[in-house]
Chains A and B, each alone.
Chain A
Amino acid sequence: MQRWNACNSGTTNRLGCGSKNPEGSLFLNYYYGFPVRTFLRRACIPLLMALLTFIGPHVRVLECSAATEPPPEGGVLPEVKLPAPGSSADRDYLGLNGKGFFSIPEIKAEVVIVEIFSMYCPYCQKEAPNVNKLFQTIQKRSDLKNKVKIIGIGAGNTEYEVNLFRDRYKIPFPLFPDPDYSIHQILGEVRTPYFIAVQINRDGSHKVIYSQLSSFGDPEDFLKLLLKRSGIKGGA
Chain B
Amino acid sequence: MSNKRVYFGLLLLLSVVVPFVGLAHGAGSQDRSKIYPVGKLKPVDSHTRLKVGDKAPDFTLPSIEGDKVALGQYQGKKNVVISFVPAAWTPVCSGQWPGYNIAKDMFEKNNATLLGITEDNIPTLYAWTQEMGGVWFPVLSDFWPHGKVAKEYGVLRNNGTSERAIFVIDKKGLIRYIDVHDINERPRLEVLIKELEKLPK
Contact = CB atoms under 8 A, between A and B. Distances in A.
A interacts with B: yes
Interface of A: 23-27, 40-41, 44, 47-48, 51, 54-55, 58, 61-62, 64-65, 118-122, 125-126, 155-156, 158, 160-161, 164-165, 168, 181, 184-185, 189, 191
A119 B102 contact: yes
Nearest to B97: A120
Chain A interface SS verdict (over half): helix
Interface in B1-48: 2-4, 6-8, 10-11, 13-14, 17, 20-21, 23-25, 27-29, 31-33
Interface residues of B, number: 37
B52 interface: no
Contacts of B186: 120, 156
B67 interface: no
Contact of A184 (B6, B21, B29): B29
A61 B27 contact: yes
A26 B102 contact: no
B10 A58 contact: no
Nearest to B28: A189
A48 B4 CA distance: 16
A51 B20 contact: no
Contacts of A161: 99, 188-190
Given A51-B14, A120-B186, A122-B98, A26 B8 contact: yes
* In the A-B complex, the 10 residue pairs with the closest CB atoms: A120-B99, A160-B190, A120-B95, A58-B24, A122-B98, A61-B24, A122-B132, A62-B20, A168-B102, A181-B29
A155 to B, nearest CB: 7
